[in-house]
Amino acid sequence: MKHTLVKLFSFAFLSFPNICLADTQNDKIKIETSLPYIKELVQQASCNSNSFATNSIISLGVDPHIFHMTPQNRLSIAKSKVIIFIGAGLEEWIQKIPKSETQIWLELSKDMKLKKLDPNSKHNHTHNHEHNEEDHNHEHRHLELDPHIWQSPKLTKLALKKISILLKDLKPSEAEVIEKCTQNYLSKIDGEVNLLKKEIQKIPEKQRILATNHDALGYFSDEFGFKILSITGVSDDSAPTSKDLKNIILNIKKENVKAIFLESTGNMRNIQSIAHETSIKIGGELYTDSLGKKGSNADTIIGMWQVNVKTILNALKN
């Protein structure tokens, strides 16, 4: 009889191996994040703990400003215990999601001291997109505050601490481990940022100018010691007017700009046109609105900072 029971249990396990896996998955706390940046912070704060199943709605390399939610995204959010997003108007689509009383919603930028955006910036232009789905028919709202906290080591550390507190509340039994993981990553950020700043110091201060039509690098420039030369009046959707171009040329000559930089998720046509008209070289592509795609070396937070600094320094040195 015992022999028969053993055979039956063995047969059940071999025939339905996914039963145990499904139970394990169901035991995990499901966390939905708006960006890969936030997903990485959750993983860093918990040392990739098996207690959390973390997903990013927006994929690596995708511009969050032009993202459109799908029915699958809605379903994934509805099934999650925790939803973490940047806020400050970045994820317009998230305002349309009905919030369940059983869910926890964490807005990372809340109570942070955010920079004000230039009213002429790319993010304050209306974008018209033609789509069939309901969520795609919209105009982008004007953003007053800069939501690009992933470009700021200081704000990233604040975001990490907020996430760490939440994870410890969700899983008190792992609080000590989560705190240790959080402190380790905070130290890693400090160490890497200090190394990058030492490299930047090798460039004369008057040459540390970033000419770009994008305002995503405001925090980055403040913390790493660069000056932003804003190419205003140039949106992604239109060519610069003759007046715009004249002002841009004057500013570039006045500041003795060495290079103009492209952005990984933007329209390169306008920058290329300006570079041609001013005879200023294109210094390379910067990761501004998103972490890089897999294999880009910019697909992590620190990796993105490293690649951007390296690209900038290579252009300004030469």
Domain definitions of the chain by residue range: 19-191, 195-317
In this structure, what DSSP letter does residue 1 have? -
**What's the first-to-final CA gap in the chain, in angstroms?**
82
- C-beta separation of 214 from 262 below 8 A: no
pLDDT of residue 22: 41
Break the chain down into helix, strand, coil percent, rounded to 5: 50, 10, 40
CA 105 to chain centre: 18
The C-alpha atoms of residue 304 and residue 95 are separated, in whole angstroms, by 28
pLDDT of residue 144: 87
pLDDT tens across 176-212, in order? 999 999 999 999 999 999 999 999 999 999 999 998 8
The C-alpha atoms of residue 121 and residue 125 are separated, in whole angstroms, by 7
pLDDT of residue 3: 54
Fold of 195-317: Rossmann fold (3.40.50)
pLDDT of residue 267: 61
Low-confidence ranges of the chain (pLDDT < 50): 2, 5-16, 18-24, 125-140, 233-237
- pTM summary value: 0.84
Using a CB cutoff of 8 Å and minimum separation of 24, what contacts does 307-311 make? 308/220, 309/196, 309/199, 309/200, 309/224, 311/261, 311/283, 311/284, 311/285, 311/286
- C-beta separation of 206 from 199 below 8 A: no
Fold of 19-191: Rossmann fold (3.40.50)
